[in-house]
Structure 1
Amino acid sequence: MKENIRLEIRTKDTIGITLKILEKLYEMNIDLRAAEVFSKKVCIKIDEISKERLQRLIEKIFEIKEVLSVDEVELLSYEKNERKLIAIIDAVDEGILAVNKDYKVEIFNRYCETLFKYNKDEVIGSDIRAIINKDAPMFKLFKDGIPYDNVEQIVDRGDFKIHYLTSGRPVLDDLGNTIGAVASIKDINKAMQLVEVVNTIKDGAFSDIIGKSNKIEYVKRIVSSVAKTTSTVLLLGESGTGKELFAKAIHRLSSRANNKFIAINCATLPENLLESELFGYEEGTFTGALKGGKNGIFEEADGGTLFLDEIGEMPLKLQAKILRVLQDGVVRRIGSSKETKVDVRIIAATNRNIEDMVKNGEFREDLYYRLSVMPIYLPPLRERKEDIPLLVNYFVENLNKKFNSKIKRIDKGYIEELMKYSWPGNIRELQNVVERSIILCEGDTLIKDNIYINTDKFIQNNIIDISEEERTLEEIVSECEREVIKRALIKYKSYREVAKHLGVSHTTIMNKIKKYKLYL
């Protein structure tokens, strides 16, 4: 059974119409609970009455000649707004507490009910001083009107304690006098969980990047800031410094995180194959082309991120097409005249001195400036040696699982010896050394004698004998380089695998093989 009846009375725009309607209520001895007055509408709220009496009231209202219609409605406008507001306040994941100038509670949402363990109906209209501490910042707000943020409070109820953070704002009248206060309240445990979730998201993006040195933490901060933008990023650094890992971190922290991340190494594919991979092709463009053609990587990465590793190895012809994508956001398949719009964020990387390449005409200047909107330098391992112990522990933990080995300790001397080396191959080289150490270790502790670094071994095996005759440094380095590549070719039987193992580009290996005549 309804507790109230609400009527919407539409009228002509006439002065005094509201008074005439109220007179009809008075004549029938009906109490008015609420009223809303508009230019051509009056809404009233009355106590529940019988159908007969309601019909009689409507008839009396129609006696007023300016009345056009009378309809029963569910809620008055202010009630609709009020209930929407209450629903919003209850839906907010924090407590909302409103108090008037007499310290009477006016708003006490569902979050507050759960936190303070009071029923809203018990609290509304009661004195707030019976619920929160007498020295709570809300009471100071009534005196000075100064807002406060994230003040920690503990309410001791004997059987349990309520620990929360609160922020407050004054409610002011037209003269600036404080006539009430509103406070937001957050359970401190939930607040800490939220902080933990945010940190986990960020740490998750950097989960594969091991290190706490000042230099690597600086790079993480830059990456976190850059990720929020749509700017093109150019990662600069030596081979093995983790450029792809940082590219993935930028993607994970960006608004594109739920879309594709695609990586391609520009040095590992011949020019014609690289072009078809990036831009796709139409059916019948060349022998062996797939029926129906093929989407390029730019189309596949639409809405996501494309990582172009070793961009310095990209041929000049393709550089022009990449520039077009960056400038106009369109791609054209090989053999097609149709352009397709794409939304792709490009992260490029190189271990070469790209500025020198621009000067030498090996890299387009306009593309360089488009790519280097946000250049980020990744430090080599020799500049952050304090991260070596963390990296070694990380590699040991993962390699123990991979090899089912049982390395439990890492001797201090082992780490000290690694700290002496310059690590030209960076983290990739360190990982290989740790892997060899685990293979060579006969116990459960890595020691100095387990370290096997190729350069030292080459000297021990007299691969280069500098005492044999007078030679230049260039000749000695060339001989060592030739021997390394020769052995790698014998072992891996693939130019790409050799390039991958030695941490250099496919083009670099092909040039060296041609120089030393070391074809398979």
Structure 2
Amino acid sequence: MMKKYIRLSIETEDKIGVTLKILGKIYSRHISLNSVEVFSKRVNIQIEDIESQEIKDITNDLMQLEDVISIKEIKLLEFEKSSKRLEAIIDSVDEGVIALNPKLEIEFFNDYSEKIFDYDKTELLGKNIKSFLGKSTNLIGFLEQGKNYDNIETFIQNERVEGRYLASGRAIKDDDGYSAGAVLTIKDYKKAKELADIVISSEDDQFKDIIGNSNAIYNLKKIAKAVAKSDSTILIRGESGTGKELFARAIKNLSQRENQRFITINCAAIPDSLIESELFGYEKGSFTGALNSGKLGLFKEADKGTLFLDEIGELSLTTQAKLLRVLQEGVVRRIGSSKEEKVDVRIICATHRNLEEMIEKGMFREDLYYRLNVIPLEIPPLRDRKEDIPLLVSYFVQKMNKKLNKSVGSTSMVFLERLMSYEYTGNIRELENIMERAMNLCEGAILSEEHLMLNPAKEKDNEKAFEIIRSEASLKKQLEDIEKQILLNNIETDMSIRKTAKKLGLSHTALINKLKKYNLKM
């Protein structure tokens, strides 16, 4: 049964000390005071439920104070109104919302959580979240470390439910950067996917294989969608393994040529002596080894469609000159023929090379560069968009579950942390290989650190941090060592207390206190 309270709003003169006088009167009556709100010319109080005569008595006492103007009973204090409004908003959303205190005890459990998890909130309030999430979840580590995360796929198993969910979490920190609790939002995985399938547009669907919600990828997709409808030449740049061909295919599928052919060629994979015949074709008997029937060439095969020239920077200067002519005049001439044939092809090309540097060295034609670089798209390497790694990991888990007939549901915190701190020279392709190795080694439902086979050379910058995590010290000592290492890494690079404080989300004073604690100096 909920405890009842009396709430009074006291209008006062705007004078110093009036609140203290009011509290003194309440104390003299031995009345239990629960809450106080102080405003300019108004004090709101919440006291224990008392008899009507006692209310009259305390009201008379307060009215005798020369600074009190009027008193009225109210239904709710201002903070209660705000809390009720917020609770109503949270209860109206189609996501489970769970608020935790620093001990990870449940302090709030919204209506939607009750519905999807089949619990009454009164059964869980005050209980540790671990008993609700179950042993198979990967969220405990994130919560204990005060980590923020978005749309992490997790497996929740307790006495009422068992299944896959998407969870996001935000750590609540005090002014000194210490944990003051956390808020979880949880969505049913199946329903979230069904909703995504319903609302997804045809444009977004073309980019479904390009995984990522970082600002860099979002903006890149936005530009790609905008230019897809035109026939302008596109130059996609990015390191090996970043997904250049995926972007090219998505653009083609959104273009006016979506129902026409999409021909791809890796210019680096074909010897220079054969590249011209592949691109432009040849007449029968043009050279030794030529097919008796001759060959159309990729430009003619892609007529009315799209030709994707991957690794365009590997073409010889001779082939570059012939490609330039095709782009300028829209005609090709097969090897061994004097006849020119018109072609209507949209060109999308890609490279990992620095074409500007190649131009300076005389290795790439400047006029061809300007013909190709009409619409440039730069795909960032994975190391520059690590916020996409959790989403990519979730995608590869689903993909490998089907491929390897596994039933992995989630990843441990350390597993994900090591992937986040790894330097990917091979980008997404390398991450996919790492995930496939890990999935092959995993026999249970959770991917853990023991399933990772990483290149030690690419983890050297994080070696000290992992030594700390694996040490025999107490949890408090390990956390302090990690905090010290983080501070040390940042002050060495920033050389500014204000800059470091802002980056770490600390107040200026809090950072100075931490530096003193660990005897660190800027």
Q: TM-score, normalised by structure 1?
A: 0.49
- Which one has a bigger Cα radius of gyration? 1
